Amino acid sequence: MVALGSPTRFRHEALLYRGEPEYVGVVQEFVRAGVAGGEPVLVAVPGRRLDLLRRVLGAVGERVRFVDMTGVGRNPGRIISVWYEFVREHTAGGRRVRGVGEPVWPGRSPEELVECQRSEALVNVAFGLVPAWWLLCPYDVVGLPAGVVSRACRHHPFVWRDGAHRAGGGVEVVDPLAGALPEPPGVAVGVAFTASELRRARHTVARVAREAGLPPARVDDLVLAMGEAAANSLRHGGGRGLVRVWRHRGSVVCEVRDAGRILDPLVGRLPPEPHRYSGRGLWLVHHLCDLVQVRSGPAGTVVRMRMEVPERGRMG
């Protein structure tokens, strides 16, 4: 049961549920309470759950905004921008809002799970000073690995379990840019570039993507994303970099490495301001690709971009 009134400051809460009946019961009551209080509500959950909640909410659902998390959150690096736009639109004048966001579901790849966890930790940074909104994040304790659920508890200041709200044991402070990415599991084609060699890098990425069976429009998206990341290397990474591209588990993976360092953990995750150029490139990369992994430290920066090849088009 929803035992709390609407908060007066940002409340980031994990809902640990067991089974569909508990999920539906808690989430629909949470949404109904928000609507009854005149609060705008955004529900961003995987498609099947989205349809289920629409049916259960009935007429109340007509006053709720629904988005399919498997679309907007396919790349976890896009999720914060969804909430940012919603909050910016509705919280003027101190208005309270609610959201239900389910970024993690059974079937996410290990790489996606890591990026989801980093995104959840960054939500506390992005919205910590935003008043009067409540974000409830359901986690399936039966279908998800125990480690994923345990980490969710460390990234949410509040945890809702077995009908009770509890304060978390302290939010884990995470550097979302830290750490190393594993080396390519097979042969990677590499092209070192400066401004004069960027065209060759684009041609190489396009060739590998086409040979892997990526549809033409997605080849163009990957080449554009690579170009944006490489432009950042030229501008902020010492004027040079390295592009590598390879195939892995039904996907085409492309990465750009350089000697620069990213200091803003939210760069590329928030919509760029109209009057600022900084951050536009990585924001576009996040919105073009199926998965984006960014790591940055004293040794330099890596932007890794993944595009899934449709099964019917896979080559070799």
Q: In this structure, are 91 and 228 located in the same domain?
A: no
For 232, the enclosing helix (H) or strand (E) is: helix 216-236
Phi/psi for 121 (5° steps) reads -65, -35
Q: 111 to each of 226, 230, 290, how far by Cα in Å?
A: 19, 22, 11
Residue 173 lies in a domain: no
* In a domain? residue 181: no
In angstroms, rounded to a whole number, what is the distance separating the alpha carbons of residues 41 and 246? 41
| One domain for residues 143 and 214 | no
The answer as to whether 105 is a domain residue is yes
Query: How high is the pLDDT of residue 314?
Result: 62
Q: What is the CATH classification number for the domain harbouring 87? A: 3.40.50.300
Query: Is 183 inside any structural domain?
Result: no
Indicate whether 110 and 256 sit together in one domain: no
Which amino acid appears at position 247 of this protein?
R
* 67 found inside a domain: yes
- In a shared domain, residues 16 and 163: yes
113 and 205 fall within a common domain: no
Distances (CA, A) of 276 to 166, 236, 279, 281, 289: 41, 16, 8, 11, 23
Rounded CA separation 227/193 (Å): 11
- Contact call for residues 128 and 10 (beta carbons, < 8 A): yes
**Does residue 179 lie in a domain region?**
no
Same domain, 117 and 235: no
The pLDDT assigned to 170 comes to: 63
Q: Are residues 32 and 129 in the same domain?
A: yes
Residues 246 and 281: their CA atoms lie apart, in Å, by: 22
Q: Among the three residues 133, 167, 201, which one is the final residue of a domain in this structure?
A: 167
pTM, full prediction: 0.92
Structure tokens at 230: 């490489």
Residue 193 lies inside a defined structural domain of this protein:
yes
| Domain final residue pick, 136, 167, 198 | 167
Amino acid at 87: V
Task: Give the end of a domain, one of 167, 197, 213.
Answer: 167
In this structure, are 114 and 246 located in the same domain?
no
**Do 19 and 141 sit in the same domain of this protein?**
yes
Answer yes or no: do 154 and 293 share one domain: no
Handedness of CA 264, 268, 271, 272 (dihedral sign): positive
Residues 124 and 220 placed together within one structural domain of the fold? no
CATH value at residue 286: 3.30.565.10
Average pLDDT, consecutive stretches of 10 residues, N- to C-terminus, the chain (316 residues)? 61 95 96 97 96 97 97 97 94 89 94 96 89 93 94 92 79 84 92 95 98 97 98 95 96 98 93 74 97 97 97 65
Q: Indicate the helix (H) or strand (E) that contains 167.
A: strand 164-167
For residues 163 and 193, membership in a common domain is answered with: no
Number of domains in the chain: 2
Structural domain includes residue 174: no
By the 10 Å C-beta count (0-12 exposed, 13-18 middle, 19+ buried), 52 is classed as: middle
Domain extent, residue 230, equals 189-313
